[in-house]
Amino acid sequence: MNPRRVFLNLSVFAKGYIRGRVGLFFGLVFPVILILLFGAIFSNTGNTAVDVYVVNHDHNSYWSQQFLQALNQSHALTLHVVDPSVTNLSTWLSQNDQSTGLVIPAGFEANYLNGTPLRLTVYTNPESAATSGIVQGTVQGVSNQFNLRAYRGTPIINVQNLQVGSQQLRYVDYLIPGLIGFSVLTSPMFAMVNISSEYKKQKLFRQLSLTPLSRGEWLLSTIIWFIVLTLISTLLMVGVGQAAFGAHVTLTPLMLPFLILGPLLFVSLGLLAGTVSKTPESAAVIGNIITFPMMFLSGTFFPVSLFPPWLVTVAHVLPLFYVIDGLNAAMIFGNVGVALTDIAVVGALAIVFFIVSIRAFEWREK
């Protein structure tokens, strides 16, 4: 292994890649476009009012209606009515991937008119302090107004603030680690499937075999290139996600193992797919068979937690699942234990596929 030759090949490979433009588009620009697109579709950034899901257990009584109307008129909140058959709103919110709710208890009107203290329950997401503040403040304010009007300041309506579940996150927060995973997968996979089969067909491996450059040096320089590309695209995606949608993700050194081992894993897998195929056409088919299920079922566009159980089982078989799960743990939840487990899985897979592909990959013919 000669570092100078690795660097020389890296520079020639990078020149060809950058001049080819297509790879650069799919590696750097496309993931950012996806963030902007999915972020815009799902994150309702144009609406400043906070969505609040309301369960009214007081049978739509006059005073409960009055209270909700007052909340609505604040223009700070958009109320959505949830069927009163929902007894545990916190669970319902989690299941529906929502984070703010309000429970009007049974007997609201009777207690209010009698002057018996009653309790409203407000659920908010601790992750988004601003949203919680708006909801809690508005409900408190309207309650005060009602208390003042009826009983000259004696607090009848008490507001109890509760936090919902533990991890209520916005879609765009999931989207960023998911799309980093998407780019960790697709950029090396598509490029390597194509390169390894086209180089074979166009006799470029033969040409390289006539020089002192070894297969290992060639593969290492290629892996380094895709790691560099992945690091750049990650910074771009996080930057755009935060600037455009205020995504709550943290850049942490814990991400680095995924951004290094991920490209290593998928460069090896792509090389293997291209090596075992006889033609570039069949390589593309094999590459797609490997890539597409992983692209959609590993938590790239949607959190795996939303999947039905059988699909969750499928996701656990896909190598990319562990990259995205680990990136979620590192970037959103700060869960070091989960991240380390995922690093171990991705690392083991990367080493296995690297060894298998370098053994299968031959640039001379028998």
Partner 1 sequence: MSDVIEIHGLVKDYGSLRAVDGIDLSVHRGEVFAFLGPNGAGKTTTVEILEGLRDRTSGEVRVLGLDPWKDNPKLVPRQGVIPQDFNFFEKITPSEAVAFYAGLFGKKVDVTGLLRRVQLEDKADSWFETLSGGQKQKLGLALALVHAPEVLFLDEPTTGLDPQARRAIWEVIRSLKAEGRTVFLTTHYLEEAEILADRVAIIHRGHIVAMGTPAEIIREHGRRGLLTFHAPAELADYLRGRTDRTVVAHDHAVDVEVRGPEDVLQAVRLATESHIAWESLSTRSDTLEDVFIRLVGQVGESGEEKPAHEGSP
Check binding of 1 to partner 1 (CB under 8 A): no
**Rounded to 5°, angle at Cα 177 from 17 and 274:** 40
Question: Interaction with partner 1 in 19-38: which residues (CB under 8 A)?
Answer: 19-20
Check binding of 215 to partner 1 (CB under 8 A): no
Comparing CA positions, the residue from 94, 98, 96, 54 lying closest to residue 72 is 54
CB of 288 to partner 1, least distance (A): 24
Q: Which two tokens stand for residue 149?
A: 């009007």
Give the position of tokens 């203290």: 117
Check binding of 209 to partner 1 (CB under 8 A): yes
Check binding of 211 to partner 1 (CB under 8 A): yes
Q: Which two tokens stand for residue 34?
A: 């996806």
DSSP character for 159? Answer: E
Check binding of 83 to partner 1 (CB under 8 A): no
Cα(324)–Cα(293) distance, rounded to whole angstroms? Answer: 14
* H or E segment to which residue 184 belongs: helix 171-201
CB of 206 to partner 1, least distance (A): 6
Check binding of 16 to partner 1 (CB under 8 A): yes
Question: Interaction with partner 1 in 263-322: which residues (CB under 8 A)?
Answer: none
Query: Between 3 and 115, whose beta carbon lies closer to partner 1?
Result: 3
Check binding of 252 to partner 1 (CB under 8 A): no
Indicate left, alpha or beta for 151 from its phi (over 0: left) and psi (-120 to 50: alpha). Answer: alpha
Query: Between 161 and 214, whose beta carbon lies closer to partner 1?
Result: 214
Computed on alpha carbons and rounded to an integer, the radius of gyration of the chain in Å comes to: 27
CB of 5 to partner 1, least distance (A): 6
Check binding of 202 to partner 1 (CB under 8 A): yes
Query: How many chain residues touch partner 1 (CB under 8 A)?
Result: 22
CB of 44 to partner 1, least distance (A): 44
Stretch of 16-24, 31-39, 95-103, 322-330 lying at the interface with partner 1 (CB under 8 A): 16-24
Query: Between 152 and 364, whose beta carbon lies closer to partner 1?
Result: 364
Residue 48's SS3 state is coil
Comparing CA positions, the residue from 257, 254, 239 lying closest to residue 332 is 254
Residue 252, amino acid: T
Pairing of strands 50-56, 77-82: parallel
Query: Between 203 and 278, whose beta carbon lies closer to partner 1?
Result: 203
CB of 15 to partner 1, least distance (A): 6
DSSP character for 305? Answer: G
Cα(347)–Cα(342) distance, rounded to whole angstroms? Answer: 8
Question: Interaction with partner 1 in 337-366: which residues (CB under 8 A)?
Answer: 364-366
Check binding of 210 to partner 1 (CB under 8 A): yes
Interface ranges with partner 1 (CB under 8 A): 4-5, 8-9, 12, 15-16, 19-20, 202-204, 206-207, 209-213, 364-366
